[in-house]
Each structure stands twice: as C-alpha cells, then as structure tokens.
Structure 1
Amino acid sequence: MAPTQMRGKRYGEVLLVSVGPDGPQATVYNTFGLNDCPPELWSRLDAEVLAKDHGAAAALLNGPRYWLMDSIEKDMGTQPEVATFGGLDMLRQATVNLTSMNPAPYLPNTVNRNAVFVFEAGKPVFELLAPDGNRWVMQTWSQVVDAALAYDDLPGLAARLRLPEGWHYQPRTLDEELRIDTSSQAAQVLQDDLTNSYSLLAENT
C-alpha cells in the first residue's frame, strides 16, 4: 500500500491509552484513507466519553493535522482494523510508548508504525537540528494549538517556536528524494511547542 499525493491532506487521530508496567502506551487510530476528518464531526469528539466507551485509561485527540510527506509505503495487511469514534471511521495505524500521559515538547516518543515516509526531490522540508547532531524532519503540521496555522507559515516558524537551548529550526529544499524508513524498526517522534510532529532522520535513512 503506497498512498500518494499526501502533502497537505488533512486528518485526525484518536489515541487510546493503556497503562502497563513500562508506562503508558497508546494505540493510534487515524482517519486518513477513510475521510478528511470533517470539522463538524471532529469538534464533537469527547475524550472522556471515548475512553469510557473503548475501555481505555484515557483517550487523546490529536488533530486536525496535515501531512508533509508526499507518500507513505506501508503494508496494512489484508484486513486493516477499523474503529468508529463519534461517527468518524478510523484505521488502526500504530502504537506509541508515551514518555508520560501528557508528553512535553521536544522529548521523543517511540512509535511502532512499520512505514516508510517519502519526501520528493525538489520539495521543501522543515527540520529541527538538535545539539547532539540529530536531525528531525517535520512529518505533520498541527492546528491543535493554532487553529489557523497553514502550510505557508512553516518556512518562518523559527520566530514562533520556543526552542530548547542549542536547537535550531530550518526549512530546506531537497536535492534528492528523502526516505524515512521505519518499516523494520521503531520510529522516534517528537513534537514542538505548537504540536507539529517530527521524525528522527536516522543515519541509515
């Protein structure tokens, strides 16, 4: 399965959280591929009701969001799991080991998503550069904190972010295709203080 022309497509997620001996873990359900997360349905979702209805310790609403990669390569299997939340159909996509029930910005979480994110040559990407040399590539921008945040705002985002000491934000245009391959290993994902999400660009990608 290789969804294409994804850049700028809107979606929303529900995370159902359970708590085990190793801390909180969330199962991630995503609207992409089934609907565009219509505002009239998304705005009515109640996290407490969803948690109770699905027997979860908590439910987290993550959206609306917009993809920044151009395509995703992912094996969904023959019968992907579909769940319905407040009238919104969603596909089960990943599990996340959360750093806490309310993860802080700029701290990575481990995501098991078994996917390859593909960014096309000639397209812009938006990155965080960490003091340890790690490079984080924005995979989605978010309207959770700023409901008006748009694609055209991303090149100038450095002026708005409250970056930790030594961190830098930069846009750049790709000279060649960029592939973030976490099909056979867990992804490391963090969010900035506007809840935009970034994937760690590992050396082997």
Structure 2
Amino acid sequence: MLTVRNSAFSLKTKLQNLNELLGKKLFATVLLSLPAFVHAGHIDGLRGNRYCEILLSPTMFKMEVYNTIGLNDCPPKLWNKISVSSVKAETKAAYVKLNGPRYWVIDGMKNSQLVNPQKKVISGLAMREAGVLQLGLSDILSSAKPYHDHVVDRQTTWVYKAGKPVYELIDPKGRVFVMQSYSIEKTPQTAASLAQLGSKLQLPQGWSYRTGVLKQTTDLTAINKKAVVIQDDFLNTYQLATHDFLNPQQSTH
C-alpha cells in the first residue's frame, strides 16, 4: 500500500509541476499563435493601432483567445485595472494571461474572421473571441524560447503598403520572417525605435535583423493555411514569408 501511495503522490506532484509549467510558459506560444480575428473582408489602417488580449485556459491543453481589435484600443484606464485574479474569478478559467498592449506594424488584413463575433465584456473591457488553440506538450515545453518556430493552423493575409517600413529577421537558412506586431511588455518600444532594434536583440548565431521601406504593396499569407511564427527577445512577433520583402525576387520558402 505504501508503494501505491507513493505512486499516487508522485503522479500528483508531476501534475502540479506540469500545471506550474503551463502557468509560466504556455502563454508565450499563444502570443505567437493567434488565428484570424477581425471581420471577413479587407481591413485597412491597422498600422500603429494598439490592442490587448486576454488568454483563458479552461483545460490543460486548450486556450481561448479574446482581443479588443475592432472594438476599442485597450484604454489604459480599463486595462490597468484588470488583474489575473479578477479574470479568474469572473471566468472560472484555470489559467489567465494578460497579453498587451501590442501595436500592429501591418497596414491591413484580408480573409480574416472571428471565431465568435459576439462581444464579450471581461473585467469591464469589451472583447471578442479570436480563436481556440489546441496545444500539445511539445508546444508547451518549447514555448518560452525566442527564435523558435511555431506552426499555427490559420488562414490570414497581412497587407504591407508601399512606402512603409518593414522589419525582418533572417535565419541561417535564409528564411525571412516579417514583423507583424511589437510589444511593450518587456521593454518600452515605439515604431520609431524599431529601426535600431537589431543592436538590442540577442540574436542566435547566423541570424540577422534588417529594416527597409517597401517599394510595392506586399501581402504576407499563411502558407497552405499554416503560419510559421516566431518571437524575438522582446516578444515582438514575426511570420515566415515566401520571399524577402526587401528583395522581392529572392524566394525563401
């Protein structure tokens, strides 16, 4: 009987450890993995827009993603009052992550839809459900690593307009990842400061960062309905492109 008790205790301990791991690391993956979210059709004027997200986990490997896009710009007077504990009490979620504020560096989007278009008010902030993510253990274990690929099932097209700056990460294989949004959670950033971001990043060997101005309007589309996304040291998010936006003739996929 002692062996049984020890086994049960060991299992319980392992589950608790996994829960702690989820609470600490799961959400970095979710920051990268957001599916399509605004209304279907073509949305313009997104560059520089501020938004926030609240991530809820009703079960160990399932995440519900809510955001403010299309409803409000995540007013500081509301966002600053929201806490993990208040959201847990209100939603009964096992885990909660407050993600934001974030700012778009895309100009628009196409072919994007909400999972649930109905407005939901969470802790006083109007939001809508952007998607539901099913995550495996491997996603959780690698979620906190910057510059790590995450493959996301989604069908989205980001629009980058001619004459606007773009920010790219290039890996040792020559693959180009284009920034879609920047974060101010870990360090203060502005759109203007992104030009000097390369000198601040702790890039892995063989990686590089560059920026430039687009000569022609360019779309960034999920490849075969799968987006490969990464984050840098400061939680800025990038998506794999089929070609180098600053050298359009150069394929990277």
Q: TM-score range by the shorter chain?
A: 0.7 to 0.9
Partner of 1:4: 44
Matched position secondary structure for 2:73: coil
Distance 1:110 1:60, change over 3 A: farther
TM-superposed CA distance for 1:93, in Å, is 1.8
* Larger Cα-atom Rg: 2
Q: Does 1:127 align with 2:127?
A: no
- Unmatched runs of 5 consecutive residues or more in structure 1: none
TM-superposed CA distance for 1:69, in Å, is 0.6
Q: CA offsets per residue over residues 67-108 of structure 1, 9 Å max, x none?
A: 111001134379613322211111222344552275322123
Partner of 2:73: 36
Q: TM-score, normalised by structure 1?
A: 0.86
Partner of 2:242: 202
Paired with 2:152 and 2:225, the residues of 1 have a C-alpha distance of 9
State how many pairs are aligned: 201
Matched position secondary structure for 2:233: coil
Larger helix fraction of residues: 2
Partner of 2:206: 166
Matched position secondary structure for 1:158: helix
Q: CA offsets per residue over residues 155-203 of structure 1, 9 Å max, x none?
A: 1101111111111111022122221123861222221111111111136
Q: Does 1:178 align with 2:218?
A: yes
Q: 1:151 aligns with which of 191, 202, 207?
A: 191
Kept in 2: contact 1:74–1:183 (CA 8 A): no
Q: Does 1:141 align with 2:178?
A: no
Distance 1:197 1:79, change over 3 A: closer
Q: 1:190 aligns with which of 224, 230, 238?
A: 230
Kept in 2: contact 1:14–1:28 (CA 8 A): yes
User: Which segment is superposed worse, 116-125 or 105-114?
Assistant: 105-114
Matched position secondary structure for 1:114: coil
Q: TM-score, normalised by structure 2?
A: 0.71
Matched position secondary structure for 1:100: helix
Amino acid at match of 2:210: Q
Q: RMSD in angstroms over aligned alpha carbons?
A: 2.5
Paired with 1:78 and 1:58, the residues of 2 have a C-alpha distance of 20
Partner of 2:6: none
Matched position secondary structure for 2:196: helix
Kept in 1: contact 2:51–2:73 (CA 8 A): yes
TM-superposed CA distance for 1:112, in Å, is 3.8
- Unmatched runs of 5 consecutive residues or more in structure 2: 1-40, 244-250
Paired with 1:193 and 1:97, the residues of 2 have a C-alpha distance of 25
Matched position secondary structure for 2:219: strand
Distance 1:77 1:154, change over 3 A: closer
Partner of 2:105: 68
Kept in 1: contact 2:178–2:241 (CA 8 A): yes
Partner of 2:9: none
Distance 1:121 1:33, change over 3 A: same
Paired with 1:69 and 1:179, the residues of 2 have a C-alpha distance of 10
Q: Does 1:110 align with 2:151?
A: yes
